[in-house]
Amino acid sequence: MEKENPLISASGHPGQLQGVRSRFLTPWIWVGGGLIIMAVLSAAIGPVAIPPNVIFKILLSRLPFATIEVDWPSTFNTILYQIRLPHTALIALTGMALGASGAAYQGLFRNPLADPYIIGVASGAGLAAVLTMSIQWPSTTLGLITIPAAAFTGALITVGIVYLFARVGRTTPITTLILAGVAVSTFTSALTSLIMLLSTDELYRAIAWLMGGSALGGWPPVLAALPYLFVGLAVLLFLGRPLNVLQFGDEQALQLGLNVERYKLVIVAASSLVAATAVSFSGIIGFIGLVVPHLVRLLWGPDYRRLIPLATIVGGIVLLASDIVARTILAPRELPVGIVTAVIGAPFFLWLLRRAKQVRFW
């Protein structure tokens, strides 16, 4: 008897292996390359331009035993390490967090228009963060640790409230989800404004932060964000398979043996943790979590095992690009990146809303 190659027999007939492999490999090359290119551009562009080849040289010169002739002004080192790289890292991480949590929320609510901004999670997290800041503003080391924790709590409470109000029977329809999200985020935003008005000092900084201006600079916020993001993203990346099963509805998922309530709780906790961390360090940045998963779904299909990691990376790419636009379009003035994402994202949202009426997404 012929011994079968398990890989080939698993995919049906021999010719398919190639197809399967390229289907899984191609997107990773694209998004990986895109992220690196966009990160280099982000570090290169600014009031003082640092050419990309110099960036590579500066990075390489840090390696032990590397012998690289220093042919750049020493200020480049300071600009790159103290300003550009931490900024680039924070923006990339924020975009990744928003892309991943948007994809997870969409899968959880089985609703193509769910996103941390639209369902009010971002403003809920923002309110909790501002509350914390009003106690310990300006940011101290303790503040850097407590703000995300508070934002996470705020995000969880908000998502719970929105879900309760949006749920009709066993489903979460688009209209009720958006209405509940708008109501809750209007309410929380109003409270946030009130707190900021009452605490007069550093008002401008708070507003800039809230509009997604990344008012926090340097390495401390990057380092503080990492553990939260690591935990949240790791959980989301592994829960693609149950998210796929959930697309068949709670009833079928339960009949397929999925412990639906338990999985939903973990997914909502992980995506809220990730979204709240993004809000804590970069403010409220809208529409990335909405646009990015759609883009990925359109290009590479609805399988959450790939959708989550791809949306994570593409989220980083898109926010880095938006941030470059925000920093250059009115140079030397820098716009909060949230304005750029809203200008691009809101029309896209309206287009989706139109489309959602015509075709079923899932």
Partner 1 sequence: MIARLRFDNTTIGYGQKPVLHSISLAVLPGEVLGIVGPNGVGKSTLIKAASGILPPIEGRIFINNNDISRLSPSERARDLAVVPQARQLPEAFTTRDVVLMGRTPYLGWFAGESEVDHRIADEVMSKTAIAHLADRQVGELSGGEQQRVLIARALAQTPSVLLLDEPTAHLDLKHQDEVLKLVRELALKEDFAVVITLHDLNLVARFSDRVALLSNGRVRDVGDPAQVLTPDELGEVYGVEIHVSSHPIHGTPLVLS
The type of residue at 197 is L
Q: Would you count residue 77 as binding partner 1 (CB under 8 A)?
A: no
Q: Rounded to the nearest whole angstrom, what is the least distance from the CB of residue 255 to partner 1 in the complex?
A: 4
Out of 6, 15, 64, 169, the residue judged to bind partner 1 by CB under 8 A: 6
**Taking CB under 8 A as the rule, does residue 245 contact partner 1?**
yes
15 binds partner 1 (CB under 8 A): no
- Residue pair 158/124 in contact (Cβ under 8 Å)? The answer is yes
- Minimum distance from CB of 10 to partner 1 (Å)? 4
As measured in angstroms, the least distance from the Cβ of 11 to partner 1 is 8
Q: What is the DSSP letter of 80?
A: I
> How far is CA 359 from its chain centroid?
26
Query: Residue 292: helix, strand or coil by DSSP?
Result: helix
251 lines the binding site for partner 1 (CB under 8 A): yes
By CB under 8 A, residue 140 contacts partner 1? no
Among 25, 66, 256, 329, binds partner 1 (CB under 8 A): 256
| Nearest of 287, 201, 186 to residue 278 by alpha carbon | 287
**Per CB under 8 A, does 299 bind partner 1?**
no
Stretch that binds partner 1, among 51-59, 181-189, 213-221, 248-256 (CB under 8 A): 248-256
Instruction: Tell me how far apart the alpha carbons of residues 329 and 326 are, in angstroms, rounded to a whole number.
Output: 6
β-sheet bridge partners, residue 171: 168
* 8 Å CB contact between 152 and 146: no
Using the contact rule CB under 8 A, the part of the chain among 114-122, 223-231, 243-251, 348-356 near partner 1 is 243-251
The residues that bridge with 168 in the sheet, in sequence order, are: 171
Least Å distance, CB 260 to partner 1, is 8
The answer to the question of residue 353 lying near partner 1 (CB under 8 A) is no
Specify whether the CB–CB gap between 224 and 148 falls below 8 A.
yes
